[in-house]
Amino acid sequence: MTTPTSHRAVRGPVQQAALLFGLVFLLVGVLGFIPGITTDYDSMEFASHDSGAELFGLFQVSILHNLVHLAYGLAGLALSRTAAGAYSYLLVGGAVYLVLWVYGLFVGHDSDANFIPVNTADDWLHFVLGIAMIGLALALSRRSTRAGAR
């Protein structure tokens, strides 16, 4: 008797991490468009520091901010299909989030330059996301390399 085989590819750890980040970013992007989960929803702007909408009443969002989360999520899903793509997504995506953290620290939250927009909670979340994404890219790719060398 033969057993049916699955043609589903097994994702490595770096791919699983990229997939998880992609799914979370997609979820956050969708939640940013749901009134109630996003407070002051009716004051949401397309791209402006004047956007008064806050995801979970904490993270300032705009339509552009939510669309960026959705794009990051889709990129994570697409790039998680290969180990190299997942590694790049986590490494480059983490670097982008660290740049956003620095940007948020130096641009005034009430400045016209704060078009994304970001507030203090966003700034520190961007820092954590950047460190986590880069750390996972490096740690999980190193782990995969060691496992493959055995």
Least confident of 89-93, 109-113, 134-138: 109-113
CA pair distance 14, 138, nearest whole angstrom: 9
Mean pLDDT computed over 64-92: 97
Q: What is the pLDDT of residue 60?
A: 95
Q: Is the pLDDT of residue 58 over 80?
A: yes
Determine the pLDDT at residue 149.
43
Domain boundaries, the chain: 13-41+50-149
pLDDT band per the 50, 70, 90 thresholds, residue 142: confident
Rg of the chain over all Cα atoms, to the nearest angstrom: 18
The pLDDT mean for the chain works out to 91
Q: DSSP states of 72-138 as a string?
A: HHHHHHHHTTSHHHHHHHHHHHHHHHHHHHHHHHHS-TTSTT--S---HHHHHHHHHHHHHHHHHHH
Tokens of 29: 């992007």
Residue 112 has pLDDT above 60, yes or no: yes
Instruction: Provide the percentage of residues in the chain whose pLDDT is more than 70.
Output: 89
Q: Which residues of 30-61 are buried (b: 16+ CB within 10 A; e: fewer)?
A: ebbbeeeebeebeebbebbbebbbbbeeebbb
